[in-house]
């Protein structure tokens, strides 16, 4: 998700017709990201967050382990998220969000209004599988 993205149905800040491509960073910039497949183990409310969000606990396999994140994906019911595979950037470091240590970034596409649609994994990959 974009850093500090917002949901705005009027301005539609993520309308693809209004967003020019970002600067070229080269393959080394992309390959520096550790993108992994994980399975959502738990979803908790996050009432302390400024915007509606869930706290996710995700299993990224034996070497990466279980990580937690905050995600503005309340358009998904908690029950629909538990057991789902997600894609996460796991080497961005920790970020404090309303006193909560967010340890990875869950990835999704943004609708024009900023609503997140999680990336889906084709098939059933083992937690910790590398995204290429």
* 76-112 pLDDT per residue, tens: 999 999 999 999 999 999 999 999 999 999 999 999 9
**What pLDDT, on the 0 to 100 scale, is given for residue 116?**
95
Q: What is the mean pLDDT of the chain?
A: 93
What local confidence, expressed as pLDDT, does residue 3 receive?
A: 53
Fold of 1-15+34-132: OB fold (Dihydrolipoamide Acetyltransferase, E2P) (2.40.50)
Task: Assess contact for 1 and 71: CB atoms under 8 A.
Answer: yes
Q: pTM for the full model?
A: 0.90
Whole-number pLDDT of residue 7: 80
H or E element at residue 70: strand 66-71
pLDDT, tens digit, 9 for 90 and up, residues 18-62: 889 999 999 999 899 999 999 999 999 999 999 999 999 999 999
Per-residue confidence (pLDDT) for residue 24, from 0 to 100 = 94
b/e map 14-35, b = 16+ CB within 10 Å: beeeeeeeeeeeeeeeeeeeeb
pLDDT band at 11 (very low <50, low <70, confident <90, very high): confident
CA 106, distance to chain mean position in Å, is 2
**pLDDT of res. 1:** 39
């Amino acid at each position: 998700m974009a850093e500090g993205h917002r949901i705005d149905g009027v301005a539609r800040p993520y309308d693809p017709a209004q967003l020019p491509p970002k600067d070229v960073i080269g393959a080394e910039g992309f390959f520096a990201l550790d993108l992994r497949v994980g399975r959502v183990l738990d979803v908790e409310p996050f009432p302390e967050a400024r915007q509606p969000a869930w706290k996710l606990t995700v299993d990224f396999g034996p070497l990466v382990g279980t990580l937690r994140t905050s995600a503005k994906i309340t358009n998904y019911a908690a029950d629909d998220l538990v057991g789902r595979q997600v894609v996460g950037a796991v080497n961005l470091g920790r970020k404090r969000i309303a006193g909560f240590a967010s340890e990875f970034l869950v990835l999704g596409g943004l609708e024009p209004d900023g609503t997140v649609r999680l990336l889906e994994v084709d098939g059933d990959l083992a937690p910790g599988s590398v995204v290429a």
